[in-house]
Amino acid sequence: MPDPLLLETFGTPGSTPFVIEHTNKEFTSVCPVTGHPDFGTIVLRYEPSEKCVELKSLKMYYQSFRNEGIYYEAVTNQIRDDLVNCLSPTWLQVVTHWRGRGGIRSSIIATMGTVPDCYCG
Tell me whether residue 52 is one of the annotated catalytic residues: no
Residue 94: CB atoms within 10 A of its CB come to 24
Task: State the Cα–Cα distance between residues 70 and 76, nearest whole angstrom.
Answer: 10
Which is catalytic among the residues 3, 31, 86, 120? 31
Tell me whether residue 38 is one of the annotated catalytic residues: yes
Which is catalytic among the residues 3, 38, 82, 117? 38
Enumerate the active-site residues: 31, 38
